[in-house]
Amino acid sequence: MNKQAEPDRGAVFITGSSTGIGAACALRLADEGFSVFAGVRNEADGEALEQRTTRPVRPVLIDVTDAGLIAAAAATVADAVGDAGVAGIVNNAGIVRPGPLEFQPLDDFRRQLEVNLFGHLAVTQAFLPLVRKGQGRIVNVGSIGGRLVLPLHGAYSASKFAMEALSDALRLELRQWSIHVSLVDPGGSDTAIFGKTLKAIDEMKARLDTEGITLYDAQVDAVRKLVEKTAADTAPADHVAKAVAHALIAKKPKTRYLAGKGAKAIAVAAKTLPDHLKDLVVAHEADLPAAAS
């Protein structure tokens, strides 16, 4: 009996593929029959990703805040796929810049939006001609933090709430060409972001002046413990990659997906609870300092 031919689903470009969700997406989509162009920040990350699979995964250097590198990545993919275009792009790159908004440097806030929001739009703009040519799809990786905010994560959630609007607008604007746009909101997933967040919290605390420490020390410590607790109970990153694959392959993809530990429960709470109850739940879960009476 002849072995059944593996599907050829076309090419897909993914940002933030060095580790975590992006790497999981690259590996799963390659297994699903896509030719994967994996956006990475450096050659070493690309080589490490290639060693994890025998499937067609081609690293492409990119920084989503660098217009020149975005254009070069789009040109590299265009040269490789020719008239076939791409079957999809996955906007996944992201960072966390924690801090109390009262003391957060505006440059930190801007950097958060540059990577998590403006960078995704810039990549989408560069690759849309290839998506249209290939009758492809767009998948944006958001966060459950785009539905429910944690203290000290205002900048991060601002970028993720904005991704909700960006995805909605793209879905409507691209509807006439039947270009599907899906948003995947991960909950707790086994990625390097937690370690990076803990490091960023420590660095942020070290930069606070005396007044900032006096006002926010207890809150910073409480949120740090919550991040540690969340990091210890996560779902595999492939849970998110599975949702991304469905958004790219399904005949009728969803406009929104929830994946990862606690995502569905948090989404329900964010949608159904009034603000004062949401605040109480978050304050209790994070063991925040009690409100002044």
Active site residues: 156
DSSP state of 82: G
CA-to-CA distance for 34 and 86, rounded, in angstroms? 10
Residue 86 neighbours by CB distance under 10 Å: 28
Residues in the chain: 293
8 A C-beta contact, residue 26 and residue 101 = no
Which residue, among 169, 141, 145, has the nearest Cα to 158 in the 3D structure? 145
Q: Where are the alpha helices (DSSP H) in the chain?
A: 20-31, 43-50, 67-81, 106-113, 119-133, 154-173, 193-207, 210-231, 238-249, 263-272, 275-286
